[in-house]
Structure 1
Amino acid sequence: MSASLPEKEEEEANGPLRTKLPAKASKNDCGIWSVLKNCVGKDLSKVTMPIQFNEPISFLQRAAEHMEYADLLGNVELAQNPVDRIQHVAAFAVSALASNWNRLGKPFNPVIGETYELRRNDYKLICEQVSHHPPVSAFQADSPSFDFHGWVYPKLKLWGKSVEIHPKGVMKLHMKKFNESYTWKNINCTVHGIIGGKMWIEHHGTMELHCVQTGLTLSLHFKPAGWFNKELHVVEGFVTDSKKTKHRYVYGKWTETLRSCDMEAYEDYMKANAHKLRLGEPASDTSKRSPIMSPIPGKKIFAKFNSLSLGKSFSTSVDPNSGQDGDLSPGNDEEPPKLDGEIPEIPNSVTLWEVRARPDYSAEFYHFTLFAMSLNQVLPDMSSICPTDSRLRPDIRKMEEGDLDKAAEEKGIIEEKQRKFLKTNNQADYKPVWFDKVGDDWICNGKYWIDSNKPHIAHLF
């Protein structure tokens, strides 16, 4: 599988980026089911998990991973056609999910008032934990060409053999050159195989991107694995205008690539490949198809997006040494599915995004991407960042150094400080420092980058 690389190696504002963590991930011999078996139906954000199930990163830093493919926004700025622009925005939105594949560790819960800043060549980003219950993380990224902000409230629930993650919240992108604003919501995620076997992840549902100024919408359907796991990771949808006219077909996998083609190419492909609509299911059988959208313009019917069956002749993109080769039997949730096919490329398609290859040693470091490896690195001058920054958390620092016992001790100290703070301070009266609540949205007040005397909050680390 090919992987796109940035034209220049990005750097933190004050130094080169590291490419490994200080220590490899410790082996976890503790079964997750032994912890979760009494939590069925509960909100897992309120359940204290053993540190062995964490990865050495704060959820604020996970939120910052939305920016891993920020260079894609340069394609939005260069596109002169609004249809092209919204599909490049979609590439940026989908790319933010790619780092989730194989990332089975739980990020550290931020404490209220915790912050995280990130300065890169072309943008700067600030995150803040603005609420404890519910746990809400807000962020804003600024650059000369765009403003990107959003907030995330992750809800996790255990159902049977899987954990469902519903990342409530809204993402908003404003492109300054065209004065266009785009909005979308995060997609749902399910972690399978928590009772024995190997855990694996799938995203599913519909991500709808909308541009207020142009009236264009791009609805991307993330297909569930299904009984035979033949559509795992597949995503596809159409760019439509306010009259529901389809202009482009966008398709790919959130783990690999996103492409698009014009409607003529799409319809020609459908006619030539109608017999391949689904492996193991006749093309005429629509009884199991979900009501999403008709593949034929002008038809007021509902049918499942089904043009992109995974052909057995296509080579796999999965590392054969990764262990991701479980049973394909129907209903099996204890083993990850075997990925034995790739999305066929429709003639005249353009590639909007390709995933960057992770280093060969990624599995030894929590399956982090190179971008994630750099997020918690020690800066040359740590005094230049806010005292509430996630990099200064001793529990995360100790975990990435391989000292789990000390990390667990430090985590307990931080959580106890927060409990004492919340006991003596009503959360309803707590006012975040860098973000303001405006309706249902959280907006950065702009003070972070101009206030040289950044306050420390007593209950933090």
Structure 2
Amino acid sequence: MRSGDEKPTEGGGFFAAISSSVRSWGSAMQKSVNGLMGYEGLEVINPEGSTEDAEAEAQRGRWKQEDRDGYWKMMHKYIGADVTSLVTLPVIIFEPMTMLQRMAEILEYTHLLDLADECEDPYMRVAYVSSWAISVYFAYQRTWKPFNPILGETYEMVNHNGITFISEQISHHPPMSAGHAENEHFTYDITSKLKTKFLGNSVEVYPVGRTRVTLKKAGVVFDLVPPPTKVNNLIFGRTWVDSPGEMIMTNLTTGDKAVLYFQPCGWFGAGRYEVDGYVYNASEEPKLLMTGKWNESMSCQPCDLEGEPLPGTELKEIWKVAATPANDKYQYTHFAHKLNSFETAPKKLLASDSRLRPDRYALEKGDMSKSGAEKSRLEEQQRAEKRNREANGHKFTPRWFDLSGEITPTPWGDLEVYEYNGKYTEHRAVVDSSGCHEEVDINSIAFNPWQYGNVSAE
């Protein structure tokens, strides 16, 4: 028998075969493109091939040769650095969505949290909540970068399974966001801070954040530790995403937890997308085995103390990815499209909402030139607002989230935790009771997240 903190050992259970594959950060077959067009030491990783076709793979992807050259000249000096907020990037690599909207994508399959709240089986409850956390990785495989939010920017969502969601950019350096979602079954709270390491043709992303889910009827609280992510082939080759490592979902109330291993991509895609592991009780005894692929589905089955399936039981599918639009430019799901829609926006939308960003909106409409110009203008406005604020001795304070004073450890560093202060709920109640039934008109609301005066004219 192994504990919840230990990886499977040879012969030690149903998933013993995964033991060696989870120990390396990137075991996909790779090759340094030495001497290729004058670039030294850049790795090109083809998830569908071998080491022999790395140079051919390097010529593929979204970049033209001259674009590759320009991007490399701009980026090579940042190798080894955290590039979360160091550089201004071209809109060619962006999608028409901000990080605040991406935070909302985890809400697509919240019916799993509803099921967990109604479930009487404590181990199935862990399985439902864990599958919900895994479900968002289908969306996170997209290779386009979301826009960095402006300090004070927000995103609101209503009209989805009775959920109200608010997120806010609470820090610019380092970039940090906070979010809160709620319906009759659960509350979801997150403080998000990404840490990156640029490696030349790839970037490692470490989720230095805290996620808490409270199930209202069940009266339990869950904590999530997600795996890191690696974005491969940023400049050379086709960009793709992998998240090899360990995910831990812990019921802080009971001590039950799931320990799940995201397999790294190997030869010709072997192991890519696969997730395997167990749900353990508080005594670290395996109770359910879980298996599946984060881009398809997850299933579970009762198991014995050795992790073997119990006789007479079968795998039960917990989650399955919903149908997606065919040939979508940005690989959006139907739900992702809703995040940009004003159908999911509340009445009297906050002027700081991501939907109203002119750079994001221009890119959504396919005007890349205007998007780039608007992006530069917003970035200069952000600098001007900071100068004005600091010159007058003012300090930025988030509207909807307060610094809790709690410091929580993560595998990648400590994090200052922000907590939802309830003011948005009060704000929304006042607006909803006002009798206002105005339609949201994007042309009538100017994007304005600035707290120290409107610097749009500067």
Normalised TM-score (structure 2): 0.73
Residue in structure 2 matched with residue 297 of structure 1 by the alignment: none
Q: Compare 381-390 and 437-446 and name the one that shifted more.
A: 381-390
> Superposition pairs for residues 315-334 of structure 1, below 5 Å?
none
Q: Compare 228-237 and 129-138 and name the one that shifted more.
A: 228-237
Q: Distance in 2 between matches of 1:34 and 1:424?
A: 33
Q: Distance in 2 between matches of 1:240 and 1:253?
A: 20
Residue in structure 2 matched with residue 445 of structure 1 by the alignment: 421
SS of residue in 2 equivalent to 1:225: coil
* Distance verdict in 2 for CA 1:379–1:43, change over 3 Å: same
* Distance verdict in 2 for CA 1:402–1:236, change over 3 Å: same
Structure 1 residue 347: Cα displacement: 6.5
Q: Distance in 2 between matches of 1:415 and 1:132?
A: 11
SS of residue in 2 equivalent to 1:413: helix
Residue in structure 2 matched with residue 361 of structure 1 by the alignment: 327
> Superposition pairs for residues 213-224 of structure 1, below 5 Å?
213-224=253-264
Q: Distance in 2 between matches of 1:383 and 1:239?
A: 42
Structure 1 residue 165: Cα displacement: 1.1
> Superposition pairs for residues 364-375 of structure 1, below 5 Å?
364=329, 366-375=330-339
Query: CA offsets, 1:15-59, max 9 Å, x none?
Result: xxxxxxxxxxxx764335454333211222121101111111011
The answer as to 2:308 corresponding to 1:350 is no
Structure 1 residue 195: Cα displacement: 4.1
Residue in structure 2 matched with residue 37 of structure 1 by the alignment: 76
Question: Which of 86, 90, 108 is the aligned partner of 2:147?
Answer: 108
* Distance verdict in 2 for CA 1:381–1:264, change over 3 Å: closer
Residue in structure 2 matched with residue 90 of structure 1 by the alignment: 130
The answer as to 2:399 corresponding to 1:433 is yes
Q: Would the aligned equivalents of 2:285 and 2:305 in 1 still touch at CA under 8 Å?
A: no
Question: Which of 362, 366, 372 is the aligned partner of 1:402?
Answer: 366
Q: Would the aligned equivalents of 1:171 and 1:186 in 2 still touch at CA under 8 Å?
A: no
Q: Would the aligned equivalents of 1:169 and 1:186 in 2 still touch at CA under 8 Å?
A: no
| Residue type at the aligned position of 1:357 | A
SS of residue in 2 equivalent to 1:425: helix
Q: Distance in 2 between matches of 1:206 and 1:380?
A: 34
Residue in structure 2 matched with residue 337 of structure 1 by the alignment: none
Q: Would the aligned equivalents of 1:417 and 1:459 in 2 still touch at CA under 8 Å?
A: no
Structure 1 residue 186: Cα displacement: 2.9
Over 6 Å off, 4+ runs: 380-383, 453-456
| Residue type at the aligned position of 1:107 | P
Structure 1 residue 459: Cα displacement: 5.2
| Residue type at the aligned position of 2:395 | D
Q: Would the aligned equivalents of 2:214 and 2:221 in 1 still touch at CA under 8 Å?
A: yes
Structure 1 residue 70: Cα displacement: 1.2
Q: Distance in 2 between matches of 1:86 and 1:147?
A: 16
Q: Would the aligned equivalents of 2:150 and 2:449 in 1 still touch at CA under 8 Å?
A: no
Q: Distance in 2 between matches of 1:172 and 1:269?
A: 30
Identity among equivalent pairs (%): 32
> Superposition pairs for residues 149-164 of structure 1, below 5 Å?
149-164=189-204
Q: Distance in 2 between matches of 1:88 and 1:431?
A: 36
Structure 1 residue 378: Cα displacement: 3.7
SS of residue in 1 equivalent to 2:131: helix
Structure 1 residue 252: Cα displacement: 1.1
Q: Distance in 1 between matches of 2:73 and 2:285?
A: 52
Q: Would the aligned equivalents of 2:78 and 2:198 in 1 still touch at CA under 8 Å?
A: yes
Q: Would the aligned equivalents of 1:155 and 1:166 in 2 still touch at CA under 8 Å?
A: yes
| Number of aligned residues | 358
Structure 1 residue 196: Cα displacement: 2.0
Q: Distance in 2 between matches of 1:401 and 1:152?
A: 29
Q: Would the aligned equivalents of 2:81 and 2:197 in 1 still touch at CA under 8 Å?
A: yes
SS of residue in 1 equivalent to 2:250: strand
> Superposition pairs for residues 202-241 of structure 1, below 5 Å?
202-226=242-266, 229-241=269-281
Residue in structure 1 matched with residue 90 of structure 2 by the alignment: 50
Q: Would the aligned equivalents of 1:116 and 1:128 in 2 still touch at CA under 8 Å?
A: yes
Structure 1 residue 97: Cα displacement: 1.4
Residue in structure 1 matched with residue 299 of structure 2 by the alignment: 259
Q: Distance in 2 between matches of 1:223 and 1:455?
A: 40
Q: Distance in 1 between matches of 2:83 and 2:310?
A: 43
Q: Would the aligned equivalents of 2:100 and 2:149 in 1 still touch at CA under 8 Å?
A: yes
Q: Would the aligned equivalents of 2:274 and 2:292 in 1 still touch at CA under 8 Å?
A: yes
Q: Distance in 2 between matches of 1:258 and 1:198?
A: 27
Structure 1 residue 381: Cα displacement: 8.3
Q: Distance in 2 between matches of 1:264 and 1:114?
A: 49
Q: Distance in 2 between matches of 1:110 and 1:153?
A: 12
Q: Would the aligned equivalents of 1:35 and 1:49 in 2 still touch at CA under 8 Å?
A: no
Question: Which of 136, 143, 148 is the aligned partner of 2:183?
Answer: 143
Structure 1 residue 130: Cα displacement: 0.5
Q: Would the aligned equivalents of 1:265 and 1:347 in 2 still touch at CA under 8 Å?
A: no
SS of residue in 2 equivalent to 1:144: coil
* Distance verdict in 2 for CA 1:136–1:268, change over 3 Å: closer
| Residue type at the aligned position of 2:356 | L
Normalised TM-score (structure 1): 0.72
Q: Distance in 2 between matches of 1:239 and 1:48?
A: 43
SS of residue in 2 equivalent to 1:450: helix
Structure 1 residue 423: Cα displacement: 2.4
Q: Distance in 1 between matches of 2:145 and 2:283?
A: 43
> Superposition pairs for residues 269-418 of structure 1, below 5 Å?
348-362=314-328, 364=329, 366-379=330-343, 384-418=348-382
SS of residue in 2 equivalent to 1:194: coil
| Residue type at the aligned position of 2:401 | F
* Distance verdict in 2 for CA 1:210–1:269, change over 3 Å: closer
| Residue type at the aligned position of 2:156 | E
Q: Which runs of 5+ in 1 are unaligned?
A: 1-26, 272-345
Q: Distance in 2 between matches of 1:383 and 1:269?
A: 51
Residue in structure 1 matched with residue 52 of structure 2 by the alignment: none
The alignment's C-alpha RMSD in Å is 2.7
Q: Would the aligned equivalents of 2:232 and 2:239 in 1 still touch at CA under 8 Å?
A: yes
Structure 1 residue 154: Cα displacement: 1.6
* Distance verdict in 2 for CA 1:164–1:386, change over 3 Å: same
Query: CA offsets, 1:314-371, max 9 Å, x none?
Result: xxxxxxxxxxxxxxxxxxxxxxxxxxxxxxxx96011111111211132x2x111111
